[in-house]
Amino acid sequence: MVKQQLPLSMQDNTPTQSEELKNPVKSDPRAIGRIICGRYKILHVLGSGGFSDTYIAEELQFPNKSKCVVKQLKLNNLTQEGLELIKCLFNLEAQTLKKLGQHPQIPKLLGYFAAGAEFYLMQEYIDGHSLSQEIPLGRAITEKAVINILHDILQILVFVHENRIIHRDIKPSNIIRRHSDRKLVLIDFGAVKEVSSQQLENSEQSAFTIGIGTRGYAPDEQYFGRSHYNSDIYAVGMMGIKALTGIAPHELAKGSNGEVQWTDLALVSQPFQAILTQMVLNDARERYQTASEVLADLEQLIAAEYSSSFAELMTWEVGGIEDFDAERSILENTDVTHLNSDTSVDLYKLTPS
């Protein structure tokens, strides 16, 4: 069976909802105010990509007219084969959100339907800003800040992979910092790949193999449609490297062995450097195999940081024994070995468990 492959250049580059009203996208002005299915009124255009248009809409049937995100599938100028493929991806995104939306850091699916030849998907609107704003080009951020970001993302990724889903397009613009609780939210599941039990047992590829992702964040195997769970780990690692260096991942040089050359461009500790390096190894077989493995090493590093902070505290000159005991109590009662999705890890602050 001949495999059909779409190159990375054909990916859907629709901006995320976090970039919304600041930079309106040029689109059909007739879309604004249009009511879909007698229920959703379009307020703003978020973006227009190769496969879909995305809008902010309000739910007219709710008393408070709450906002949601509406994605409309574009089916123009496609061959029948391409049409079926895009429909398949769209339905897969809907089913993925339905399955994963129970996680507090993944948008909930509100509904999806077909109206004639048009297909729509409605999902929860996340009020926040893109992670791109926190790790901009040309500016490096601290190692501790990067550790906090990666820790939060990896916890989401463990859940995603446990549900046999590979995201395939993890990047800063697909992560939103939610304003209400400062948690990171993973969005845009339009490029996901679901791994069935049969696929786990059988190495044969399906009829359609889609090379999709974003240059610099997608590992080599993803270019050829052979994504693995640790392809997502590679993308998260490249986000960390971008944050530490301020350099776009696709602009980083690679050695003759295919490895990213970045360690001389960042101020980073050896233990964290080792974690990031293993996350982005060119050979997927040598890379971390699961997000849980990365998370375990990262939490061990965090625990060492707390231990080091306690050792430093023991040498401080304090004003009185009561102040010292209070600080020591905070450090000794901080549990860093059983971190979970409700734990906010901030290496600048010490919070009792």
The set of catalytic residues is: 169
Assigned token pair, 20: 């919304």
Helix (H) or strand (E) holding 110: strand 109-115
Query: Which helix (H) or strand (E) is 67 found in, with range?
Result: strand 67-73
The Cα–Cα gap between 270 and 329 comes to: 29
Q: Please state, in angstroms and rounded to a whole number, the distance separating the CA atoms of residues 244 and 212.
A: 26
Helix (H) or strand (E) holding 15: none
Quickly tell me which residue has 């990724």 as its tokens. 157
Phi, psi dihedral angles at 251 (to 5 degrees): -95, -5
What is the DSSP-derived secondary structure letter of residue 173?
G
The number of residues in the chain equals 353
| CA 132 – CA 136 distance, rounded (Å) | 6
Within 10 angstroms of residue 65's Cβ, the number of other Cβ atoms is 12
Q: Alpha-carbon torsion 311, 315, 316, 322, what sign?
A: positive
Structure tokens at 291: 């997000």
* Burial of 269: CB neighbours in 10 Å, binned 0-12, 13-18, 19+: middle
Alpha helices for 31-142 (secondary structure H): 80-100
Helix axes 143-162, 229-245, angle to 10 degrees: 170
